[in-house]
């Protein structure tokens, strides 16, 4: 709980049927580290922005990449580094998420950080993604600097991580409530193995009336007449970046498949990839670490049939990560609007009305 905010499960609301990991966070996948740089300033400019960094498995990802895959559900967005991942199936850099106007700087800075830290990789193609925070932040000020990126990268750690108005998610809006950063995880027991799938989202999309919590039409019940929207007119604009991590041994092609299931979790909450939305999903597996210089590498792949439960885990973790972003983000007044937090008591009321609590 942060101030008056709470994660979804602490409210007694459980979405999905698979069990979460111990932290119910992407960091339940061993080795995954998350760091933030958060910029909240009122003068000389109103800034509500930042950087989120996800290390996919220790700091040596450049020397020992992991397999990864991407899916673009609606491509009105950006994720640099995608061509290389699509081609090679490997993720060799941390993933950084920021605001739209800073994605280039953040991309270059991730590369500079890796070179500075000793990487010998002239042709780094770093992964940086974005969602737009121009309602709450004066984003044309280009407030994010190389130092912010370095700070997010350097401070990343495992364990419990902050949610809501932090990092790249600081100024985001989701279903016309205050959105931001959220995370969740699921544990899969299949074929004698125990796998974890974790999700981290930067949620900045969605129309109020489409919001659902475990199928309940919460967005209709807590309409913009009750809690005003920061978007005028009410609209489904914005984007969502989803990062999926798993320790299940997936090949690149299987990572692509997993990434595609963020679509399902997003749909459950009420996201349908609006025209102006950049809904781009990246999934990686920490189970195979590749030495690109070895003539051949021995890798492990999970049975295709196990994918079904991993798909469900990815959908559920995405769903709950978005809802955690909503339930953890606090009301924020910014550049051009106030984004109200999803009122948790009202959320519980509505869930009770529909016999789901």
DSSP β-bridge partners for residue 96: 53, 128
CA angle (327 as vertex; 107, 338 as ends), nearest 5: 75
Contacts of 355 (CB under 8 A, 6+ apart): none
Q: Compute the least distance from the CB of residue 233 to a copy of itself, in Å.
A: 12
Q: Compute the least distance from the CB of residue 347 to a copy of itself, in Å.
A: 15
Q: Compute the least distance from the CB of residue 157 to a copy of itself, in Å.
A: 26
Q: Compute the least distance from the CB of residue 243 to a copy of itself, in Å.
A: 16
Q: Compute the least distance from the CB of residue 127 to a copy of itself, in Å.
A: 11
Pick between residue 23 and residue 266 the one whose CB is nearest to a copy of itself. 266
DSSP β-bridge partners for residue 279: 74, 240
- Pull the structure tokens for residue 243: 């990062």
Pick between residue 36 and residue 335 the one whose CB is nearest to a copy of itself. 335
Pick between residue 11 and residue 162 the one whose CB is nearest to a copy of itself. 11
Pick between residue 161 and residue 274 the one whose CB is nearest to a copy of itself. 274
Buried b (16+ CB within 10 A) or exposed e, 282-310: bbbbbbbbbeeeeeeeeeebbeeebbebb
H or E element at residue 33 = strand 33-41
Distance CA 342, CA 325 (A): 10
SS3 252: helix
Measured over all CA atoms, what is the biggest interatomic distance in the chain, rounded to whole angstroms?
Answer: 63
Distance CA 253, CA 89 (A): 7
Q: How many residues does the chain have?
A: 357
Pick between residue 87 and residue 147 the one whose CB is nearest to a copy of itself. 87
Q: Compute the least distance from the CB of residue 183 to a copy of itself, in Å.
A: 20
H or E element at residue 335 = none
DSSP string, 225-237: TTS--SSSS----
Which residues have a catalytic role annotated? 239, 277, 279
Contacts of 60 (CB under 8 A, 6+ apart): none
Beta strand ranges found along 115-260 (DSSP E):
127-131, 173-174, 177-178, 180-190, 193-204, 239-246
Q: Compute the least distance from the CB of residue 81 to a copy of itself, in Å.
A: 7
Pick between residue 36 and residue 195 the one whose CB is nearest to a copy of itself. 195
Contact 230, 209 (CB under 8 A): no
Pick between residue 9 and residue 14 the one whose CB is nearest to a copy of itself. 14
Contact 68, 282 (CB under 8 A): yes
DSSP β-bridge partners for residue 199: 184, 244
């Amino acid at each position: 709980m942060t101030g008056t905010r709470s994660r979804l499960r602490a409210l007694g609301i459980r979405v999905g049927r698979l069990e979460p990991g111990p932290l119910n966070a992407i960091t339940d996948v061993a080795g995954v580290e998350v760091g933030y740089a958060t910029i909240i300033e009122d003068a000389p400019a109103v800034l509500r922005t930042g950087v989120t960094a996800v290390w996919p498995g220790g700091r040596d990802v450049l020397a020992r990449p992991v397999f990864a895959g991407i899916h673009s559900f609606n491509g009105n967005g950006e994720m640099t580094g995608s061509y290389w991942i699509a081609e090679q199936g490997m993720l060799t850099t941390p993933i950084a998420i920021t605001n739209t106007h800073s994605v280039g700087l953040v991309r270059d800075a991730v590369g500079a950080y890796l070179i500075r830290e000793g990487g010998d990789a002239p042709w780094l193609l770093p992964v940086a993604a974005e969602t737009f925070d121009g309602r709450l932040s004066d984003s044309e000020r280009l407030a994010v600097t190389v130092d912010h990126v370095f700070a997010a990268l350097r401070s990343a750690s495992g364990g419990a991580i902050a949610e809501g108005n932090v990092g790249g998610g600081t100024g985001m809006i989701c279903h016309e409530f205050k959105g931001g950063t959220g995370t969740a995880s699921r544990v899969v027991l299949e074929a004698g193995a125990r796998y974890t799938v974790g999700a981290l989202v930067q949620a900045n999309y969605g129309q109020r009336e489409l919001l659902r919590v475990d199928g309940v039409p919460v967005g209709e019940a807590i309409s913009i007449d009750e809690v005003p929207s920061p978007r005028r007119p009410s609209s489904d604009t914005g984007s969502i970046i989803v990062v999926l991590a798993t320790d299940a041994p997936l090949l690149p092609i299987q990572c692509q498949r997993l990434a595609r299931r963020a679509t399902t979790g997003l749909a459950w909450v009420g996201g349908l990839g609006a025209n102006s939305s950049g809904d781009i999903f990246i999934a990686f597996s920490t189970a195979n670490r590749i030495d690109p210089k070895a003539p051949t590498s021995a890798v492990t792949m999970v049975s295709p049939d196990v994918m079904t439960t991993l798909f469900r885990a990815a959908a559920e973790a995405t769903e709950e990560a978005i809802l955690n972003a909503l339930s953890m983000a606090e009301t924020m007044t910014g550049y051009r609007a106030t984004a109200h937090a999803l009122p948790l008591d009202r959320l519980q009321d509505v869930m009770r009305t529909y016999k789901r609590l």
